[in-house]
Amino acid sequence: MDTMTRRPFALAPVALLAMALPAMAEKLSLDALSSYLNDLTTAEAEFTQINADGTISTGTIYIKRPLRARFEYDPPEETLVLAATGQLAIFDSKSNTGPEQYPLARTPLNLILARNVDLSRDGMVVGHDYDGTATTVTAQDPEHPEYGNIQLMFTSPPTELRQWVITDDTGQETTVVLGELKSGGELNDRLFSIVQEVDARNR
């Protein structure tokens, strides 16, 4: 699935975060991280994405849990990725045949967009580390580890999601480093509508 290698999913080189990380904190528990993600109902941030082929993209991400996210890529790429209604839709500005769509449940991104995130669920977390600055958790679908995994990096205090790395079902890695995460605002449902986006592009 080469088309999936440029999806907005993954974690990033430590060098990109070196100046942004706070002073030493302590390892965050899985329960604390689950609560943080479940409380993150809406969020917006600029992001830098390191693709599997080494290229770099930038853009803005909007999250509206559960199960909705929007990745707007900056020019010249102008790609749009929507997660909604159980689907992941990739819109290519050069294509007029509609978006490529994949079941969201088959992607590791589903794990953090789920209605109820429970990182303590048996078999979900396969890595839980602390480097003196950030807590890193590697999670997978316990019932379908073949779908890949997502590695999340958090800093504290306050607890904040800083980046993630998604390894997809082909073994390709994509890294997303988040800028300042603005949470708690109002986000229009229109931002996450695959159907309305298709209609707008067909006018």
Token pair, residue 20, equals 């942004």
Query: Quick one: pLDDT band at residue 24, thresholds 50, 70, 90?
Result: low
Q: What DSSP character marks residue 143?
A: T
Q: Write the DSSP string, 166-185.
A: EE-TTS-EEEEEE---EES-
Give the residue carrying structure tokens 């890529």. Answer: 73
Give the CATH H-level superfamily of domain 2-13+22-201.
Lipoprotein localisation LolA/LolB/LppX (2.50.20.10)
Measuring CA to CA, which residue among 116, 106, 109 is closest to residue 40?
116
Contact, 95 vs 107, CB < 8 A?
Answer: no
Ramachandran region, residue 86 (left: φ > 0; alpha: ψ -120 to 50; beta: rest): left
pLDDT of residue 20: 52
- Identity of the amino acid at 114: A
- Statement: residue 28 has pLDDT above 70: yes
Strands (E), 93-147: 100-103, 125-130, 134-140
The secondary structure element, H or E, covering residue 35 is: helix 30-39
Q: How long, in residues, is the chain?
A: 203
pLDDT of residue 12: 41
pTM for this prediction = 0.85
In tens, the pLDDT along 42-99 reads: 999 999 999 999 999 999 999 999 999 999 999 988 899 999 999 999 998 776 668 9
Contact, 67 vs 86, CB < 8 A?
Answer: yes
In tens, the pLDDT along 134-190 reads: 999 999 999 999 999 999 999 999 999 999 999 999 999 999 999 999 999 899 999
* Cα–Cα distance for residue pair 153/45, rounded to 1 Å: 15
Contact, 58 vs 177, CB < 8 A?
Answer: no
Longest Cα pair distance anywhere in the chain, in angstroms?
53
Give the residue carrying structure tokens 């528990």. Answer: 29
pLDDT of residue 15: 46
Q: Which residues pair with 60 in a beta bridge?
A: 46, 72
Domain ranges for the chain: 2-13+22-201
